Structure formats: C-alpha cells, structure tokens
C-alpha cells in the first residue's frame, strides 16, 4: 500500500484551474521532488495535501485514510508535516519553544496538572525538553535554544522550521523551497541534512525546489508540474532529457 496517493486532484479559484488532474503516488521512506516553472501550482499542491485548501475535485489517500474531510490540524496529527516557502516560525518565541509547539501531542499532561504542578507536569515538560534538544542537535541549533526564533540568521531559520515539522513525528515531510535564499555552501549543507533526516527518522520527503543541483542530486524521482498538471514523472536523468520538460522551462522553439 502506498503512503500517499493523490487521484485526479484539482482546485479552482474562480475560473482559474490552479491544479488540475494531479495524480501522484509515494511510498514510505522515498525522497521525491516536485518541480516546475513559477506559477505551475507546486505550493498549491502542498496546500491541498495539508488541508489548507479544500480540493474541488479528486481524492487524497494518506496511509489508507482519505484526507478530504480533515482539518490541517488532523492531517498534521495523522503524519504530514511541512515547511513554508516564506518561513513561518513563531518569531517571538524561543527556538526551543518553537520545537516544543511541534511536540505538543508527544505529551498529554492536563491543564489541571500544570496548575497544580503535579509530577506528571514536570515529567512531561522534562521529556519535551529532552526531545526538543535532541532535535535541535540534529540541526546544530542546540546553542541557540533560548534565542528568539526571529533573531536567527536566515539559513538557521529554515533549519528550525524543518526541526519544528519533524517534532510532530511525521511519516511524510513536505519541504517548500528549503534552499531558497541560500548560498551554494549552505545549499550543500542542506542537502546533507535532508539525507540525514530521511535516514534518521525513516520518513518520506517530498520537496519543491528551484535549485536543480539539489533536486537532481538527492531526489529519487521527480514530478514536473506545468499549468497545474503533471507534465512528466521519472528519475532525474529521465526528467533531464524529457523534451516536454525542456520545452516547458525554456519555451518551444518552432
């Protein structure tokens, strides 16, 4: 059984079909890429998969369950986590608290036990702290634990966003342009981190990226989106040599 399956997925804004007949399938622990020209509907696909937008047609099955009637919160709890193109951290909260928000459901001490300071409160907080720190360590962020997230440099903010997403213990991680605004060295570093994350947490990753070196370097398979539909799907080499893809990116020369 596949982890994620989208069938005939589509959404319309007014008369505009932003995504149309989107078919896609992913299995556990795979690393796929989603590319396409600007405005092709890549982020819209992420928004559909995470429940931010409700599709006007089609079906999404995740882990055997339909996501259509679920709220973004439920979908996240079911195991899809994501990052955002325009980093959306809780800027005024500390780095570690950002991760702890993601860890919210890892503990279940009640409001009453925190008011009465019962042992379950301390135990829960302690456990959360440990888990958050070990996640920060993966991304070399542990020494910034008490810094306000908004004060981190750009590249580290991107990493923190991935850490926060991982804190929700997802089965599938969606990364929306993780290398945007990074220099080549940072991008290189990021590629390593993504590989480590996939190994360490044994999760599936789907990423949107414009940096072709990154996409071609780490993705097993790539889907190319154009005008809201899947134009091509295959290994990096197949995509590189696909005439349709070249035409979509560079324009048709007739």
Partner 1 sequence: MKKKQIKDLIISFIAALVIYGLIMFLMSAGVVDYYWSGILIMACINVILATSLNLASGYLGQLTLGHAGFMSVGAYTSALCSLYLHLPFLLSLLIGAIAACLIGILIGIPTLRLKGDYLCIITLAFNEIIRVIMLNLSITNGAKGLMGFQAMNIDFSVYFISAVITIYVIYCVVKSRHGRAIISICEDETASELSGIPTSYYKILAFAISAFFAGVAGGLYAQYMGMLVPSTFDYNKSVEILVMVVLGGLGNLKGSIIAAIVMTILPEYLRAFADYRMLLYAVVLIAAMIIKEKNLGPRIKSKFFKNKTVEVDD
Partner 2 sequence: MEFLTQIINGLSTGGMYALVAIGYTMVYGIAKMINFAHGEIIMVGAYLAYVMTSIVKVPIIVSVLVAIAGCALLGVVTEKVAYKPLRNSGSLAVLITAIGVSYLLQNLFLILFGSAARTFPQFMPSGTVSLFGAHITYVALLSLVLTFICTGLLLLFINKTKLGKAMRAVSEDRGAAELMGINVNTTISLTFAIGSGLGAIAGIIYGMSYSLINPYLGAMLGIKAFIAAVLGGIGSIQGAMVGGLIIGVAEAFTISYISSAFSDAVVFGILIFILLVKPAGLFGQNMREKV
Which residue ranges make up the site for partner 1 (CB under 8 A)? 50, 52, 71-73, 76-77, 81-82, 84, 88-93, 97, 100-105, 107, 109, 111, 114-115, 117, 121-122, 124-126, 128-129, 164-165, 167-168
Task: Supply the DSSP symbol for 110.
Answer: -
107 binds, among partner 1, partner 2, none (CB under 5 to 8 A by kind): partner 1
Size of the site for partner 2 (CB under 8 A): 4
Q: How far is the CB of 11 from partner 1 (least distance, A)?
A: 17
10 binds, among partner 1, partner 2, none (CB under 5 to 8 A by kind): none
3-state class (DSSP) for residue 98: helix
**DSSP class per residue in 132-186:** HHHHHHHTT-GGGTTSBGGGS-HHHHHHHHHHHHHHT--SEEEEESTTTT--HHH
Rounded Cα distance, 138 and 163, in Å: 8
Q: Which does 129 bind (CB under 5 to 8 A by kind): partner 1, partner 2, none?
A: partner 1
Partner whose binding site includes residue 124, from partner 2, partner 1, none (CB under 5 to 8 Å by kind): partner 1
Residue 175: name its binding partner from partner 2, partner 1, none (Cβ under 5 to 8 Å by kind): none
- By C-beta, is 7 or 97 nearer to partner 1? 97
Q: Which does 43 bind (CB under 5 to 8 A by kind): partner 1, partner 2, none?
A: partner 2
By CB under 8 A, the residues from 1 to 60 that bind partner 2 are 43, 47, 52
Give the position of tokens 């300071």. 117
Q: List C-alpha distances in Å: 230 to 42, 66, 118, 225.
A: 10, 21, 54, 5
Give the nearest distance from C-beta 97 to partner 1 in angstroms: 6
Q: Identify the helix (H) or strand (E) that includes residue 64.
A: none
Q: Using DSSP, state whether 107 is helix, strand or coil.
A: coil
Q: Mapping DSSP to helix (H, G, I), strand (E, B) and coil, where does residue 106 land?
A: helix
Residues linked to residue 5 through DSSP beta bridges, in sequence order: 25, 61
Shortest Å, Cβ 65 to partner 1: 16
C-alpha triplet 170, 143, 76: angle, nearest 5°? 15
Binding of partner 2 at residue 90 (CB under 8 A)? Answer: no
User: Which stretches of the chain bind partner 2, using CB under 8 A?
Assistant: 43, 47, 52, 84
């Amino acid at each position: 059984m596949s982890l994620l399956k989208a069938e005939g997925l589509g959404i319309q804004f007014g008369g505009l079909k932003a995504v149309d007949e989107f078919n896609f399938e992913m299995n556990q622990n795979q690393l796929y890429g989603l590319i396409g020209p600007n405005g092709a509907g890549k982020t819209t696909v992420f928004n559909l998969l995470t429940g931010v937008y409700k599709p006007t047609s089609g079906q999404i099955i995740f882990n055997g369950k339909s996501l259509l009637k679920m709220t973004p919160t439920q979908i996240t709890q079911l195991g899809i986590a994501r990052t955002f193109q325009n980093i959306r951290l809780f800027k005024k909260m500390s780095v570690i608290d950002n991760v702890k928000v993601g860890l919210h459901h890892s503990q279940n001490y009640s409001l009453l036990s925190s008011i009465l300071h019962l042992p379950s409160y301390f135990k829960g907080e302690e456990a959360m702290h440990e888990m958050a720190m070990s996640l920060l360590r993966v991304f070399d962020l542990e020494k910034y634990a008490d810094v306000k997230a908004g004060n981190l440099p750009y590249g580290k903010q991107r990493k923190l966003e991935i850490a926060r997403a991982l804190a929700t213990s997802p089965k599938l991680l969606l990364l929306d342009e993780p290398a945007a605004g990074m220099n080549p060295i940072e991008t290189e570093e990021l590629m390593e981190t993504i590989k480590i994350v996939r190994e360490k947490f044994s999760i599936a990753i789907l990423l949107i990226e414009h940096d072709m070196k990154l996409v071609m370097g780490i993705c097993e398979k790539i889907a190319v989106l154009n005008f809201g539909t899947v134009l091509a799907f295959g290994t990096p080499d197949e995509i590189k040599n696909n005439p349709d893809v070249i035409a979509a990116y560079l324009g048709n020369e007739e």
